[in-house]
Amino acid sequence: MADWQKRLAKFASRVDSRLDAQRERLGLGANRSVVRIEAYRGFGRPERVWVKGRVLRGMPVPPAREGDSLWLNLAATLQRFESDEVPGAKVRVRYPGGEQVLTADREGYVEGWIEPSPPLVAADPWQQVAMELAEPAGAGEPFRTRAPVLVPPPATARLGVISDLDDTVVRTDVASRFRMAKNVFLGNAHTRMPFPGVAAFYRALEGGRDGRARNPFFYVSSSPWNLFEVLAEFLELRRIPAGPLLLRDWGIDSVDPGEGGHAGHKSRHIKTILELYPDLPFILVGDSGQEDPEIYHRAVNDHPRRIRAVYIRNVSRGPERVEAIRRLAAEVEKVGSTLILADDTLAAARHAASQGWIDPAALPEIGEVAHAEDVPRAEELKDENKAMSRGQEN
């Protein structure tokens, strides 16, 4: 065996040993006989609600703690992606006026529409639906949990927000494979950072012009369902409005109907949301790094007068990409909407304030918070550049 092969094998052995130690500390891999339901956030109207969950074996990964080691974060991430799903499991969903049994697909997912009767009370945006594991039956009481579902209050909600997550809300750095891998695999909900000012801006959009609207948020992303808990915890820690997370199945045997890749996934969910709330106008928020401008452009064309504005964070500095988005903005304007290509959160917030969608008094906070949050990021990038320069010199 060559020297480099020996070193690689030794390194792999060390990594495996460290990960095993961290898994033992987390309690991961134990109790594989336990079958549980991971309940996701649903949404709907009082009389019609979409619910989704996943049936898995083993204990859930515990919430992250600030200061967790890189090894601990990596062990937790690998555990999430090594999920042991239970195909064919049956989940009983109970709701006012009835119940429905859902059967898990090959990846363990259960989902479906339910029709409560009497309808759910819409005074509170968040309702609860009971989920119970019907099969496989274990010893003792069956596993039970509750799934939160978003039902926007029609008396106060004035608009809805459909937002991307990666490089729109949370820094993923798709343009840098190193930083993206570091953020996803070696980080946790505490280490993942929002873009400057996003949390304050989204809270302002949720509150509306008078601060009491309780406007609903929907997060449509191509991140995998395996990261649901991480993303939900991130939103809570950063005080970003909660909302359903409509993610993708990255499994090899994915049977997500009509998937159609990143664009198909997003377009399908946007269409569902817009059709479910026909009386609610929407704002779409994304970034220039992937296909968000094109996807949202099609949504504006397919649903005239439903989209009040499209906010695109400019993360692509290439002049060709910027010019292409500007051409899309001109086409969006012809349809009666607006596409804003913004370099920062404050630019989008100023436009929203000028339209009466947020309280103008929120602008100073958004600007101050954006500046304060951007300082650590600038220092981080400076340190990375220094490290890269040293590496080139060596």
CA distance 392 to 386: 10
Closest by CA to 127, choosing from 42, 209, 55, is: 42
**Which pLDDT does position 290 carry in this prediction?**
82
In whole angstroms, what is the distance from residue 167 CA to residue 188 CA?
16
CA distance 196 to 373: 5
Name the pLDDT band for 240 (thresholds 50, 70, 90). Answer: very high
Confidence of residue 289 (pLDDT cuts 50, 70, 90): confident
Instruction: Decide which of 350 and 8 is more confident.
Output: 350
* Omega before 136 within 30 of 0, i.e. cis: yes
Is residue 29's pLDDT more than 70?
no
Compute the distance between CA of residue 29 and CA of residue 228 in angstroms, rounded to an integer.
Answer: 19
Question: In the predicted model, is pLDDT for residue 284 greater than 60?
Answer: yes
| Residue 122 near residue 154, CB atoms below 8 Å | yes
Does position 85 have pLDDT exceeding 70, yes or no? yes
Whether the predicted pLDDT of 378 surpasses 50 = no
* Confidence band for 294, pLDDT divided at 50, 70 and 90: very high
Angle (CA) 67 69 75, round 5°: 130
pLDDT digits 0-9 by tens, 327-361:
999 999 999 999 999 999 999 999 999 999 999 99
Mean pLDDT (whole number) for 128-153: 92
Q: Which tops the pLDDT comparison, 63 or 307?
A: 307
Whole-angstrom Cα Rg for the chain: 22
Indicate the pLDDT class of residue 123, thresholds 50, 70 and 90.
confident
Q: Say what the pLDDT of residue 128 is.
A: 93
Cβ–Cβ < 8 Å for 143, 36: yes
In angstroms, the Cα distances linking 244 to 144, 151, 165, 203, 241 are: 21, 11, 12, 16, 10
- Between CA 394 and CA 392 the distance in angstroms is 5
pLDDT mean over 175-179: 64
Please state the rounded mean pLDDT for residues 182-210: 92
Bridging pattern class, strands 90-95 and 126-135 = antiparallel
The answer to whether the CB of 322 falls within 8 A of the CB of 328 is no
- What are the chain's domains? 31-150 (2.60.40.10), 160-375 (3.40.50)
Q: What is the mean pLDDT of the chain?
A: 85
* pLDDT band, residue 184 (cuts 50/70/90): confident
Higher pLDDT residue, 388 or 206? 206
Which pLDDT belongs to residue 272?
97
What number is the average pLDDT over the span 2-27?
51
Q: With a cut of 70, say whether residue 3 has pLDDT above it.
A: no
- pLDDT average, residue stretch 371-385: 53
* Range in 47-56, 203-212, 314-323, 330-339 with the lowest mean pLDDT: 314-323
Q: What is the pTM of this model?
A: 0.86
**Would you place residue 77 in the very low, low, confident or very high pLDDT band (cuts 50, 70, 90)?**
confident
Report pLDDT for 386: 46
pLDDT band at 109 (very low <50, low <70, confident <90, very high): very high
The CB density around residue 294, as the number of other CB atoms within 10 Å, is 15
Peptide bond preceding 118: is omega within 30 degrees of 0, i.e. cis? yes
More confident residue, 269 or 32: 269
What are the tokens at 191?
């280490």
Residue 390: the pLDDT is 40
Please tell me the distance from the alpha carbon of residue 388 to that of residue 176, in angstroms, as a whole number: 13
Average pLDDT over residues 218-236: 95
The answer on pLDDT for 209 being more than 90 is yes
